[in-house]
A and B are shown apart, each in its own frame.
Chain A
Amino acid sequence: MEEVFVPALGMAMDNAVLLEWLKNPGDPVAAGDVIAVIETDKTTLDLTAETGGVLGKHRYQPNDEVPVGNTISVVLAPGEVE
Chain B
Amino acid sequence: MSTTTDTPTRVSHPSYSEAFQQGVREEMTTNPDIFILGTDLVERGGHFAQVKGIAQEFGESRVKDSPISEAAMVAAGLGAAMYGLHPIIDLNFIDFSFGAMDEIINQAAKIRFMFGQPVPLVIRATSGVALGGAHHTNALEAFFASTPGLSLAIPSCANDVKGLIKTALRVPDPVIFLMHKKLSGVRSEITTGHQPIPFGKANSVRPGKDAAIITWSYTLFTALKAADELAKEGIEVEVIDLRTLWPLDEDAVDAAIKKYGRVVIADEAPKFGSLTAEIAASATERCNSDLKGPIVRVGGVRAPISANPRHSDAAIPTVAGMIEAVHKVMKY
> Is there a chain A Cβ closer than 8 Å to B132's Cβ?
yes
**Contact yes or no, B4 A44, CB < 8 A:** no
B5 at the interface (CB under 8 A from A): yes
Closest 10 pairs (CB-CB, A-B)? A41-B185, A12-B181, A42-B49, A11-B132, A12-B130, A41-B184, A46-B4, A4-B1, A11-B131, A44-B6
B12 interface residue per 8 A CB criterion: no
Interface residues on A, range: 20 to 34
Residues of B within 8 Å of A43, CB to CB, are 5-7, 9, 49, 52
Contact between B136 and A50, CB atoms less than 8 A apart: no
- Which chain B residue has the least Cβ–Cβ distance from A45? B3
Interface size on B, residues (CB 8 A): 25
Instruction: Annotate A1-24 by CB proximity to B: 1 below 8 A, 0 otherwise.
Output: 011110100011110010110000
Collect the chain A residues with CB atoms within 8 Å of residue B48's CB. 12, 41-42
Q: Give Cα A41 to B130, complex, Å.
A: 13
- In the bound complex, how far is the Cα of B15 from the Cα of A48, in angstroms? 24
Residues of B within 8 A of A (CB): 1-11, 15, 17, 48-49, 52, 130-132, 136, 181-182, 184-186
Complex-state Cα separation, A43 to B46, whole angstroms: 12
- Residue from A3, A42, A45 whose CB has the most chain B CB atoms within 10 Å: A42
19 contacts between A and B (CB under 8 A): A3-B1, A5-B1, A11-B130, A11-B131, A12-B181, A12-B182, A17-B11, A41-B48, A41-B184, A41-B186, A42-B184, A44-B5, A44-B9, A44-B10, A45-B3, A45-B6, A48-B3, A50-B1, A75-B1
Q: Which of A36-80 contact B (CB under 8 A)?
A: 37, 39-50, 75
Q: A13-B185, A42-B17 are in contact. Are A19 and B1 (CB under 8 A)?
A: no
